[in-house]
Amino acid sequence: MSAETADRFGQLLARFDVPGPRYTSYPTADRFVEAFGPAQYRQALAHRAVAGPVGGVLPLSIYVHVPFCESVCYYCACNKVVTRQHDRAREYLAALEREIELHVQALGTAQPVSQLHLGGGSPTFLSDAELERLMLALNRAFRLQPQAEVSIEVDPRTVDGARLQRLADMGFNRLSFGVQDFDPEVQKAVHRVQPFESVRALLLRAREIGFSSINADLIYGLPRQTEASFERTIGQVGGLRPERISLYAYAHLPARFKPQRRIHAAELPPAAARVAMLRSALTGFLGLGYAHVGMDHFALPDDPLAVAKRQGRLHRNFQGYSTHADCDLVGLGVSAIGRIGACYSQNSKTLSEYYDALNQHQFPVARGLALNRDDLLRRTVIMALMCQGRVDFESVELAHLVRVQDHFGAELARLRPLADEGLVEIERDAIQVTALGWYFVRAIAMVFDRYLQTDLKREHFSRVI
């Protein structure tokens, strides 16, 4: 990258440093309504159940939310319960088993599953015996396919080599380590101290055991981070060679997330430094041989995610980018989000409400959304941009019986300034995101978000950069 190109790239990064959705769904979760509840969710499951024989429907993706953490990380915006009382997990596992059984009653047994992910919170808060109990319940209810991705988020402070072996024995084949930053001062500022040497030892052991893929999560914009310190972290992570890297911008929203009130705003890096950190990460990981999969995700060239990107098979769901087909997602656990057909759902966000619904033999769905025709159309366009970087008008028109040029006239007009910047090309029969525009794909997708165009208060989203 020439000095002139790097300077322009930095200017664009600064220009698009605005709040915006990550588009793990469209419409986004903030549009869910309480009018969608257990009855509507049960109906969506019933529609799937009658769609055809088990072999005639796409496999499921399953997400299980484990909310517990032993200590709070000040940056965290996840739904979590901070406790050292590990006996609380027993009640939660019993509730999860009841929720799983409700799905079996609605869908039948042996529904195929191609993707299973445990997130949180810290799933490794659960003991090995408790994780085995959960996996047994899932395997009894569903049929994990032979090549299924079975992944778990790991807090490096809660595992050792022996635990990693137990996870492999349970069937997990992918790990995601929460790294965030390796600088000791930054770790102290966010209350998450985990030395580089300990994480390195865990990654080496995971490779010896044979995990097929390891992901490392990073965050830029944290307190006490500097351009130099984050560049060191980039080098350290790149040296470990995880197959995938997720790079997130810290969103400081202390009014919404109580733990963030412990972060001193004066210690946060200024906007110019955050932009410089992102630019350093982009150039650093690309220089280390990683492929830019999309938005803020990177993968080694031979990783299935990078291969799917090259072949135009990339998909996106509530867990982010995926190699799997655009399949239904069952969300289990407190606050978990799912998608069945043309419906989105989210479980109750508090344990008391979650337990109460299941004790009454009801799905713990607190809100959701049944997508209308316009939602489905715009979801097709936005996901094509987010995943393939291209929208072919003919395929959209055949699927949704509209003429793109007429239906999206206002959006195409708003897209022209981005075309002038070289981020997108508006062709006669397609929209093509450029190589430069791929770094700003969220901003491009936002043009087609009908809800966002009428919503001037975007601070409930993370920043695009």
pLDDT, one tens digit per residue, over 28-45 is 999 999 999 999 999 999
DSSP 259-271: GGGGS-GGGSPPH
**Domain 372-455, architecture per CATH:** Orthogonal Bundle (1.10)
DSSP 238-290: HHH--SEEEEEE----TTT-GGGGGS-GGGSPPHHHHHHHHHHHHHHHHHTT-
| pLDDT tens digits, one per residue of 181-211 | 999 999 999 999 999 999 999 999 999 999 9
Confidence class of residue 242 from pLDDT cuts 50, 70 and 90? very high
As a whole-number percent, the residues of the chain with pLDDT over 70 amount to 94
- Burial profile 51-78: b = 16 or more Cβ within 10 angstroms, e = fewer: eeeeeebebbbbbbbbbbbeeebbbbeb
Confidence class of residue 162 from pLDDT cuts 50, 70 and 90? very high
pLDDT over 90 at 10, yes or no: no
Dist CA 273 CA 267 (whole Å): 12
Name the nearest CA neighbour of 192 among 167, 222, 214: 222
Confidence class of residue 244 from pLDDT cuts 50, 70 and 90? very high
- CA separation, residue 399 to residues 25, 376, 377, 396, 427 (Å): 19, 10, 9, 5, 20
**Domain 3-331, architecture per CATH:** Alpha-Beta Horseshoe (3.80)
Dist CA 458 CA 465 (whole Å): 14
Sequence letter at residue 111: Q
| pLDDT tens digits, one per residue of 284-296 | 999 999 999 987 7
- Tell me the binding residues for S-adenosyl-L-methionine: 63, 75-77, 120, 153, 180, 192, 217, 251, 337
CB within 8 Å of 274: residues ≥ 6 apart: 17, 220, 221, 249, 465
Dist CA 423 CA 415 (whole Å): 9
Confidence class of residue 298 from pLDDT cuts 50, 70 and 90? very high
Dist CA 94 CA 379 (whole Å): 36
pLDDT over 90 at 349, yes or no: yes
Angle between helices 88-107 and 351-359 in degrees, nearest 10 = 50
- Tell me the binding residues: 63, 69, 73, 75-77, 120, 153, 180, 192, 217, 251, 337
Domain segments of the chain: what residues? 3-331, 372-455
Confidence class of residue 236 from pLDDT cuts 50, 70 and 90? very high
- Tell me the binding residues for [4Fe-4S] cluster: 69, 73, 76
3-state helix, strand and coil shares in percent for the chain, rounded to the nearest 5: 45, 20, 35
Confidence class of residue 77 from pLDDT cuts 50, 70 and 90? confident
Question: pLDDT at position 461, please?
Answer: 58
Question: pLDDT at position 21, please?
Answer: 87
Q: Any bridge partners for residue 339, and if so which? A: 329, 344
| pLDDT tens digits, one per residue of 379-438 | 999 999 999 999 999 999 999 999 999 999 999 999 999 999 999 999 999 999 998 898
pLDDT over 60 at 374, yes or no: yes
